[in-house]
């Protein structure tokens, strides 16, 4: 039997070419292991725009984006033991999976589960409806997929950590960025600015690659030791063959072969940006030097909690611009122009009067 549902306010789009506008969506009543959360803040990810406009060709409408969620627990099911009403919590890109049978979930690698249910763009296994994201008043999530927000984090600046943060933290951890390592971060945007903060906090020597010379000062402020403008051949030549790891945060077409040339032997370029078109790779660019071209998504729930605790301990949050819910369509257009430093976050209090 399907659980009962209740309606909540949200911002949704009915079609790929339509703006987001006030709407209502169903949320299930909390089950035994569920947590009902009042959403306070939701980060605006570039994935939200891709999804809203069906650029990945799987969107079902009406569509409600948002997977960088910070809120307060309203109530918890009788068998949900991790959280209580009033707790400050977070929800990222995942809200469900077949935890009992999935070997990846049992290892804390829920991001690789073939049964994972995304915060939006999947099917809610309980209601039999599409999942709706964080551009809404409330959300109901299995407690396994709810994260504890540690004291000391600004909840608004913490919202982008639930996607952009873990997307950059996870590969830096996996490829062991730290003292004695030279790490490059390509692109100083929503992902890249957090990659710089993490790499610096891990103790690595950090170099930012940016096509915008005007970002040099900001890159240094965020923690970079050096800045390289790829269009400057002398700057590229200076660093060629010296990087242990390069975190590629660019989602536009670009020359990944030029980045492979920057690697030391056994170095790795890790893609976390997602260009629409395939990136040509010269075979000898990886053969000579035993170099690697890899990719990385978000992390699992244990690693995401580790990341949040790390951020609280090191004073790391996203650089954000807080917006009202009714400013989301304007924010999308500005995001396309890279007119934000460096992440929009929606104050969901503005939805209550919508």
CATH number of domain containing 72:
3.90.180.10
Asked if 275 and 130 sit in the same domain, the reply is no
For 35-56, the three-class secondary structure string (H helix, E strand, C coil) is EEEEEEEEECCHHHHHHHCCCC
pLDDT of residue 4: 85
Q: How far is CA 214 from the centre of its chain?
A: 25
Provide long-range contacts, Cβ within 8 A and 24+ apart, for 123-126: 124/28, 124/96, 125/96, 126/2, 126/3, 126/28, 126/31
Give the three-class secondary structure for 241: coil
Asked if 70 and 153 sit in the same domain, the reply is yes
Question: Could you give the CA distance from residue 45 to residue 281 in angstroms, rounded to a whole number?
Answer: 28
Asked if 158 and 14 sit in the same domain, the reply is yes
| Averaged confidence pLDDT in the chain | 95
Question: Could you give the CA distance from residue 313 to residue 110 in angstroms, rounded to a whole number?
Answer: 25
Asked if 145 and 233 sit in the same domain, the reply is no
Give the list of residues 6+ apart from residue 247 with CB closer than 8 angstroms, or none.
168, 171, 172, 183, 184, 185, 186, 192, 195, 199, 270, 272
Write the pLDDT tens digit of every residue in 16-75.
999 999 999 999 999 999 999 999 999 999 999 999 999 888 999 999 999 999 999 999
Tell me which residue of 220, 215, 245, 244 sits closest to 230, measured CA to CA: 215
Asked if 34 and 152 sit in the same domain, the reply is yes
Asked if 123 and 185 sit in the same domain, the reply is no
Asked if 122 and 9 sit in the same domain, the reply is yes
Full residue range of the structural domain in which residue 255 is found: 164-295
DSSP 264-283: EEEEEEEE-S--SSPPP--H
At 352, is the pLDDT very low, low, confident or very high (cuts 50, 70, 90)? Answer: confident
- When pLDDT is averaged across residues 215-243 and rounded to a whole number, the result is 95
> What is the H or E stretch that residue 193 is in?
helix 192-202
Number of domains comprising the chain: 2
Question: Could you give the CA distance from residue 97 to residue 118 in angstroms, rounded to a whole number?
Answer: 9
pLDDT of residue 252: 87
Write the pLDDT tens digit of every residue in 72-118.
999 999 999 999 999 999 999 999 999 989 999 999 999 999 999 99
Half-sphere exposure of 244 (CA within 13 A, CB side): 16
Provide long-range contacts, Cβ within 8 A and 24+ apart, for 119-123: 119/66, 119/67, 119/69, 119/91, 119/92, 119/93, 119/94, 119/95, 120/51, 120/63, 120/64, 120/65, 120/66, 120/67, 121/51, 121/58, 121/59, 121/60, 121/63, 122/95, 122/96
pLDDT of residue 274: 86
% residues pLDDT > 90 (the chain) = 89
Asked if 24 and 153 sit in the same domain, the reply is yes
For 49-53, 235-239, 247-251, 350-354, which range has the lowest pLDDT when averaged over its residues? Answer: 350-354
Asked if 175 and 141 sit in the same domain, the reply is no
Tell me which residue of 228, 220, 171, 214 sits closest to 197, measured CA to CA: 220
Question: Could you give the CA distance from residue 126 to residue 190 in angstroms, rounded to a whole number?
Answer: 33
What CATH number did the domain enclosing 228 receive? Answer: 3.40.50.720
At 148, is the pLDDT very low, low, confident or very high (cuts 50, 70, 90)? Answer: very high
Asked if 143 and 215 sit in the same domain, the reply is no
Asked if 136 and 208 sit in the same domain, the reply is no
Handedness of CA 237, 288, 245, 249 (dihedral sign): positive
Asked if 142 and 289 sit in the same domain, the reply is no
């Amino acid at each position: 039997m399907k659980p009962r549902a209740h309606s909540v306010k949200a911002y949704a789009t009915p079609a790929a070419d339509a703006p987001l506008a006030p709407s209502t969506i169903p949320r299930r009543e909390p089950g035994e292991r569920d947590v009902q959360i009042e959403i306070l803040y939701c980060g605006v990810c570039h994935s939200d725009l891709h999804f809203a406009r069906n650029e990945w060709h799987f969107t079902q409408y009406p569509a409600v984006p948002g997977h960088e969620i910070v809120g307060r627990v309203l109530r918890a099911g009788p068998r949900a033991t991790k959280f209580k009403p009033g707790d400050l919590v977070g929800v990222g890109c995942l809200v469900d999976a077949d935890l009992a049978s999935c070997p990846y979930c049992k290892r804390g690698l829920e991001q690789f589960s073939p049964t994972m249910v995304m915060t939006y763009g999947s099917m809610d296994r309980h209601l039999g409806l599409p999942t709706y994201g964080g551009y809404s008043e409330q959300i109901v999530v299995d407690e396994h997929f709810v994260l504890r927000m540690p004291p000391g984090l600004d909840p608004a600046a913490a919202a982008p950590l639930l996607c952009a943060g873990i997307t950059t933290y996870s590969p830096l951890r996996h490829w062991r960025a730290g003292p004695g390592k030279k790490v490059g971060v390509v692109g100083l945007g929503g992902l890249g600015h957090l990659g710089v903060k993490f790499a610096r906090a891990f103790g690595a020597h950090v170099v930012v690659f940016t096509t915008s010379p005007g970002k040099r000062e900001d890159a240094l402020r965020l923690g970079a030791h050096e800045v390289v403008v790829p269009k400057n051949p002398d700057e590229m030549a200076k660093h060629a063959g010296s990087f242990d790891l390069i975190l590629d945060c660019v989602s536009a077409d670009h020359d990944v072969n030029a980045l492979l040339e920057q690697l030391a032997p056994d170095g790795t370029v890790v893609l976390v940006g997602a260009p629409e078109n395939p990136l040509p790779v010269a075979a000898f660019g990886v053969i000579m030097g035993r170099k690697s071209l890899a990719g990385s998504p978000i992390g699992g729930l244990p690693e995401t909690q580790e990341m949040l605790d790390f951020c609280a301990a090191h004073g790391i949050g996203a650089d954000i611009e807080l917006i009202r819910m009714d400013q989301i369509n304007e924010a999308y257009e500005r995001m396309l122009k890279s007119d934000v430093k460096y992440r929009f976050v929606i104050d969901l209090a503005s939805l209550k009067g919508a």
